[in-house]
């Protein structure tokens, strides 16, 4: 979900419980578990002053955050805040969610739509980038607003999500026999509640040419309570091979509650992968990246991609240049078994697949 969600008219990858409900995705909770994660989402921190107070940080950071957040507001669940180090303004989890003044400085080469997705968005809310796969924007919100998100300016209101529910998208997928896999993305598709998600999975299940269902989600990381027993059942009961790609960037994100959520999904037979983004000041050291991979494996999650930052406006201060990224990746290869080393990639608009970044590519620039 990096290459991973206010609203109805100018929707950003931001949400509040009230806006989620207003979007029509938050149907009545069907049980205690559902009520619980929705309640936690409703109680997420949305005010920089409160976040700084909770962490014992100075008020001037909160003032800076309020001035910088623009129309992509601070949003972070309290369970995620609890994993941050009190009194540390450089905490790697805090840096991912706290707006800073650098976001509003001019950033040549950075744009609102760095992957040129908006031109490839169909009326039904599908983005078709890759052969055999369709990416469905199943929900317009997220449980956290990551400051480096490449969809932070995405016009979800034009995506079809709000207009026709998901019926148009399902019909378009059914009509295209070249598709074998559907990727649910957003926003975060796990903002759909279990009943709604179960209905959608059932509809996709009935399309004979589909074989796999993939979810790109950060909810199990920032709000692991979302991994309900019913969610595990929905994925386990589908004839489609279920693949969940989570998004964690630092080992400290993966506490015991996240490990338990991953265990529940794995026990249900879901394949688990992680995609991370290489972020300056968050995980741009071999030690941090190795610790992330080790912790992911402890949680039964395969490290899959390490993305170079997509050049979205407001995120330039997170950029790690390619030579440094390649050196870090090489260091990772020396420290870890091969299966624990994620592929270092950059997404280049118009390319038929992600571009692998390595020593050979660096040499071609020399």
295 binds ligand SF4 (CB under 6 A): no
The answer to whether 220 touches 40, Cβ cutoff 8 Å, is no
By rule CB under 6 A, what count of residues binds ligand SF4? 14
Candidates 1-9, 43-51, 112-120, 279-287 — which segment interacts with ligand SF4 by CB under 6 A? 1-9
Figure out which of the listed residues 142, 254, 289, 341 binds ligand SF4, where binding follows CB under 6 A.
142
Q: Is 149 in the site for ligand SF4 (CB under 6 A)?
A: yes
Task: Compute the residue count for the chain.
Answer: 366
Nearest-angstrom CA–CA distance, 44 and 142: 11
- Structure tokens that stand for 335 in this block: 């420290």
Tokens standing for 238?
Answer: 């589908």
Q: Radius of gyration over alpha carbons of the chain, in Å?
A: 19
Q: Which stretch binds ligand SF4 (CB under 6 A): 82-90, 140-148, 166-174, 350-358?
A: 140-148
The reply to whether omega before 187 is within 30° of 0 (cis) is yes
Compute the distance between CA of residue 176 and CA of residue 126 in angstroms, rounded to an integer: 12
Return the SS3 of 353. Answer: coil
Taking the C-alpha atoms of residue 100 and residue 49, their distance in angstroms, rounded to an integer, is 13
| 243 binding ligand SF4? (CB under 6 A) | no
Nearer to ligand SF4, 2 or 69 (CB): 2
Token digits of residue 213:
């269902």
Considering the rule CB under 6 A, would residue 270 count as an interface residue with ligand SF4?
no
Paired with 181 in beta bridges are 133, 212
Q: Does 2 bind ligand SF4 (CB under 6 A)?
A: yes
Candidates 20, 138, 144, 242: give the one binding ligand SF4 (CB under 6 A): 144
User: Considering only 114-122, 146-154, 306-314, 357-365, which stretch makes contact with ligand SF4 by CB under 6 A?
Assistant: 146-154
User: What is the pattern of x (binds ligand SF4, CB under 6 A) and - over residues 191-230?
Assistant: ---------------------------x------------
Structure tokens that stand for 132 in this block: 């055999």
Q: What minimum distance in Å lies between the beta carbon of 218 and ligand SF4? A: 4
Asked whether the beta carbons of 5 and 142 are under 8 A apart, the reply is yes
The answer to whether 81 and 55 are in contact (CB under 8 A) is: yes
Least distance between ligand SF4 and beta carbon 186 (Å) = 6
* Measured distance CA(193)–CA(265) in Å, rounded: 16
Instruction: Identify residues 13-32 at the interface with ligand SF4 (CB under 6 A).
Output: 13
Shortest Cβ 141–ligand SF4 spacing (Å): 8
Q: Interface mask (CB under 6 A) for ligand SF4, residues 172-191, using x and -? A: ----------------x---
Name which of 38 and 238 has its Cβ closer to ligand SF4: 38
Q: Which stretch binds ligand SF4 (CB under 6 A): 16-24, 31-39, 141-149, 225-233?
A: 141-149
For ligand SF4, the binding residue among 1, 76, 136, 316 (CB under 6 A) is: 1
Instruction: Tell me how far apart the alpha carbons of residues 76 and 312 are, in angstroms, rounded to a whole number.
Output: 20
* Among residues 95, 151, 317, 329, the one that binds ligand SF4 under rule CB under 6 A: 151
Judged by beta carbon, residue 187 or residue 268, the one nearer ligand SF4 is: 187
Q: Pick from 48, 99, 114, 145 the residue near ligand SF4 by CB under 6 A.
A: 145
- DSSP per-residue letters across 311-351: -BTT-GGG---HHHHHHHHHHHHHHS-GGGPPEEEE--TT-
Tell me whether residue 210 or residue 243 sits nearer to ligand SF4 (CB atom).
243
Sheet holding 343-346, edge to edge: 126-127, 133-137, 181-185, 212-217, 241-246, 271-277, 302-307, 343-346, 355-356
Quote the least distance from Cβ 341 to ligand SF4, whole Å.
22
Per the structure block, which two tokens stand in for 220?
């199990």
d(CA 280, CA 272): 26
Among residues 280, 334, 352, 314, the alpha carbon closest in space to that of 100 is found at 314
Residues that bind ligand SF4 in the complex, under the rule CB under 6 A: 1-2, 4-5, 13, 142, 144-146, 149, 151, 188, 218, 247
């Amino acid at each position: 979900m990096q290459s991973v969600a206010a609203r109805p008219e100018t929707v950003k990858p931001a949400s509040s419980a009230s806006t989620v409900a207003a979007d029509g995705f938050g149907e009545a909770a069907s049980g205690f578990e559902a009520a619980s994660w929705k309640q936690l989402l409703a109680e997420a921190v949305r005010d920089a002053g409160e976040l700084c107070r909770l962490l014992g940080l100075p008020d001037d950071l909160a003032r800076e955050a309020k001035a910088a957040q623009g129309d992509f507001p601070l949003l972070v669940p309290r369970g995620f805040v609890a994993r941050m180090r009190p009194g540390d303004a450089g905490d790697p989890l805090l840096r991912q969610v706290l707006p800073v003044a650098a976001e509003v400085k001019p950033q040549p080469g950075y744009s609102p739509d760095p992957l040129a997705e908006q031109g490839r968005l169909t009326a039904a809310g599908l983005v078709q980038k890759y052969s055999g796969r369709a990416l469905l924007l199943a929900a317009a919100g997220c449980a956290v607003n990551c400051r480096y998100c490449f969809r932070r300016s995405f016009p979800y209101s034009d995506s079809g999500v709000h207009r026709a529910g998901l019926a148009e998208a399902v019909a378009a997928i059914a009509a295209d026999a070249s598709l074998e896999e559907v990727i649910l993305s957003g926003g975060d598709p796990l903002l759909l509640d279990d009943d709604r998600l179960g209905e959608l999975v059932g509809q996709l299940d009935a399309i004979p040419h589909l074989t796999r269902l993939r979810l790109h989600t950060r909810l199990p990381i920032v709000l692991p309570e979302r991994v309900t027993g019913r969610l595990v059942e929905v994925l386990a009961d589908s004839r489609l091979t279920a693949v969940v790609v989570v998004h964690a960037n630092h080992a400290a994100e993966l506490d015991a509650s996240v490990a338990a959520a991953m265990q529940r999904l794995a026990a249900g037979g879901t394949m688990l992968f992680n995609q991370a983004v290489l972020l300056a000041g968050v995980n741009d050291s071999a030690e941090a990246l190795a610790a992330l991979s080790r912790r992911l494996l402890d949680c039964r999650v395969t490290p899959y991609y390490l993305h170079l930052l997509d050049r979205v406006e407001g995120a330039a201060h997170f950029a790690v240049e390619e030579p440094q990224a390649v050196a870090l990746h090489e260091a990772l290869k020396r420290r870890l078994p091969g299966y624990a080393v994620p592929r270092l990639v950059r997404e280049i608009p118009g390319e038929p697949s992600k571009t692998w970044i390595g020593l050979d590519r660096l040499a071609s620039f020399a």
